Amino acid sequence: MMSLITVVLAVTPTPDPDFDPNTVTPGVVGFVVFFLIAVATLLLCLDVVRRIRRTTYRAEIKERLDAEIAARDADPDSARDDKTE
């Protein structure tokens, strides 16, 4: 394994003296790819927020229904009054 790394490092060419790394830009393709990644990230975040909000609302409604059922079961007179009317 070490010999493979040595061979790769030995074969690495020297940079061109006329090459300026400050003038290299990703161009239009790089911008489009970055923009699509940003849009995908935004959509995923919105979806996660929507799902978390939905789960929270469902838990709140379940707590309310459980509280109403417990209150109804705790007071048997109110259940009888509802049936007689």
Is residue 3 in some structural domain? Answer: no
* CA gap 34, 39 in Å, rounded: 9
Residue 39 binned pLDDT confidence (cut-offs 50, 70, 90): very high
Is residue 23 in some structural domain? Answer: no
Split into its structural domains, the chain has a count of 1
Instruction: Give CA separation, 76 vs 5, 63, 65, 80, 83, in Å.
Output: 81, 21, 17, 7, 11
Task: Reply yes or no on whether the pLDDT at 49 is more than 90.
Answer: yes
Is residue 72 in some structural domain? Answer: yes
Q: Which domain holds residue 32?
A: 28-76
- pLDDT, the chain, mean: 84
pTM, full prediction? 0.54
Is residue 8 in some structural domain? Answer: no
